[in-house]
Structure 1
């Protein structure tokens, strides 16, 4: 059933007039730094930077600040709720969904959930009221939001067919896990097609999954190498670690031509993630293995290469799900 224009107008009234808050240059810098650290899973380091842009009224920063606070505490706190609500009042779907899911939060078990003027189900209702009209008009992100609200896979498939790379990725994962009604030989084909579509849409997680799919099912190593390299060039941690290791033949996989200098350089970039995702353990194991095959001059060249790579590529990122669980 479609929402009436009157009801939709009422829902839209929750959106703050500061939804398009203009940030000063120093606030933009703080936001960007905070998002980089957040995506590197350096949650505690990201928080003070996100606070600067959040205080200035930036909805995206408010959402990620709330995410950082909730993840750091492992449950919904009054501070996290405050920033989720600030973002939600500016029409942020994702904040509304997280507020809507707070009824199942750990704080419920601990009996210390923060007070709110609106129950979780109402926040989900707000998100639905904003997203559904847009979804029905073909908006791919709104369709994905409807899937997150309802968990109805039809919405996920509609979003994927409309070109949403996140939806395409989860369609592939779902088909791989046996969801939906597909014949076995069609299921494998569907998984490959969805990963390919998502990768072509710029999703680095799908790029790595599609490379693995090609390796396991089609033996097309040339195309698989292309996607691993592209995932690395986008800064995806798994792409960087795989690309660097395979170039240095540590191990030799996917048929990459041996390039110790480039392999060492790219692997060394992961040192920047120390403090996020336990990556340093991997670096401490693999980097010396590569260095053993190199001369001091080659290591020096690799260090120069890594500096240039950082200047010409995006910051490293784990590309975490926007809606964390």
Structure 2
């Protein structure tokens, strides 16, 4: 199962029925990209990270056409999302990525039943998930944390959640920050209750912290939320700031809002208020990402500043635009 609580898709396979790729088709390799292609990929991934999917396509295509397998996979993701299912373009890009060795592209093809419905099948394997397993299991057994984490998705696809969780735990214990963050999320939500039980939040905190201390922005933000649920506001504020500095959009929004109006949340320090700075941060988020939450906060608080102060803030916003690392929602690779 993809790493999400919901997965809605519509198979659009009419154009693909009966089509198959030649058995001797050469699998693409992943060359070192030239400077222009690498720049295009980075811009495409930045745009993908802020959900500007359609704009990202032309940039990622430049890298994919140069043989970059990761760009092929994300082009599949973009077309699947935009087309609300496994469209012709999505299948084509996933297939190219799978042939290049991307295990999550193999899982997408397996999930979409592309072998059965469109006769696009892997060479020398019974299924796409078998191909992913054969590729990733030896790497994981040799101690590769990324492969261990991938096996979580592979074994879930195989209907073996216990083995899947075992591999996720091994990946987390081996230091993979994405696995640590995901294990924290699973631990926090294991009761199925909303809001999560406090005891589960406390049990999840160490995993979020391990990943956060490695610089993984999603874990920084998740750690701040876990601390917030425990009313540990000083630590919460510190990690919220850290997530903002590492490009997490939700963290940046929270920081900007605290500066604009510290009374909106208990974790905002009482002495933090700087309305011009807060407006500048939120205006920059909106200008860079068109984030609706930023727009809404600004709209609700516009009476707090004079026209001159707003003008000053919007000038200051230039200092908050296009920082490195870039703003992102940090969508999981194998999400919904």
Q: Could you tell me which residue of structure 2 aligns to residue 118 of structure 1? A: 122
Q: 1:199-251: CA deviations, max 9, x gaps?
A: 2222322222211221221x332221111111111221111111111121261
Aligned residue number for residue 281 of structure 2: 266
Aligned twin of 1:129: 134
**SS of residue matched to 1:21:** coil
Contact kept, 8 Å, 2:168 with 2:183, in 1: the verdict is yes
Which residue number in structure 1 is paired with residue 104 of structure 2?
94
Q: Does 1:198 align with 2:203?
A: no
Structure 2, gaps ≥5 residues long:
1-23, 157-163
Q: CA deviation at 1:302?
A: 2.2
Aligned to 1:292, the other structure's residue is in SS state: helix
Give the corresponding residue for 2:299. 288
1:143 corresponds to which residue?
148
The residue aligned with 2:91 is 81
User: Could you tell me how far apart the structure 2 residues matched to 1:252 and 1:191 are?
Assistant: 23
Contact kept, 8 Å, 1:14 with 1:91, in 2: the verdict is no
Q: Is contact 1:169-1:194 (8 Å) kept?
A: yes
2:174 aligns to what? 162
- Kept in 2: contact 1:15–1:90 (CA 8 A): no
Which structure is higher in helix share?
1
CA distance in 1, matches of 2:121, 2:310: 60
Closer, same or farther: CA 142–288 of 1 in aligned 2, 3 Å: same
**Equivalent residue number for residue 13 of structure 2:** none
Q: Relative to 1, partners in 2 of residues 1:289 and 1:163: Cα closer, same or farther, differing over 3 Å?
A: same
Separation in structure 2 between the aligned mates of residue 98 and residue 121 of structure 1, nearest angstrom: 15
Deviation at 1:285, TM superposition (A): 2.4
Which region of structure 1 is more displaced relative to structure 2, 65-74 or 196-205?
196-205
In the alignment of these two chains, the number of paired residues is 297
Corresponding residue for 2:248?
Answer: 236
Residue 246 of structure 1 aligns with which residue? 258
Distance 1:114 1:83 in 2: 15
CA contact 1:260–1:290 (8 Å) conserved in 2: no
Which residue of structure 1 lines up, in the alignment, with residue 39 of structure 2?
A: 29
Q: 1:290 to 1:124 in 2, by over 3 A?
A: same
Looking at structure 1, the residues matched to 214 and 122 of structure 2 have their Cα atoms a distance apart, in angstroms, of 37
How has the CA–CA distance of structure 1 residues 65 and 232 changed in structure 2, closer, same or farther, with 3 Å as cutoff?
Answer: same
Deviations 1:172-200 (A, max 9, x none): 121122269xxx88644321111211222
In the alignment, which of 208, 212, 223 is matched to residue 221 of structure 2?
A: 208
Contact 1:15 1:91 in 2 (8 A): no
1:319 Cα deviation from its structure 2 partner: 0.6
CA distance in 2, matches of 1:66, 1:27: 18
After TM superposition, the score normalised by the length of structure 2 is: 0.80
1:202/1:50 Cα in 2 relative to 1: closer, same or farther (>3 Å)? same
**SS of residue in 2 equivalent to 1:117:** coil
Q: Report if aligned partners of 1:96, 1:123 keep a CA contact under 8 Å in 2.
A: yes
CA offset at residue 322 of structure 1? 0.5
Q: Structure 2 CA distance, aligned partners of 1:285 and 1:233? A: 22
The equivalent residue for 1:5 is none
Residue of structure 1 equivalent to 2:317: 306
TM-score, normalization by structure 1: 0.82
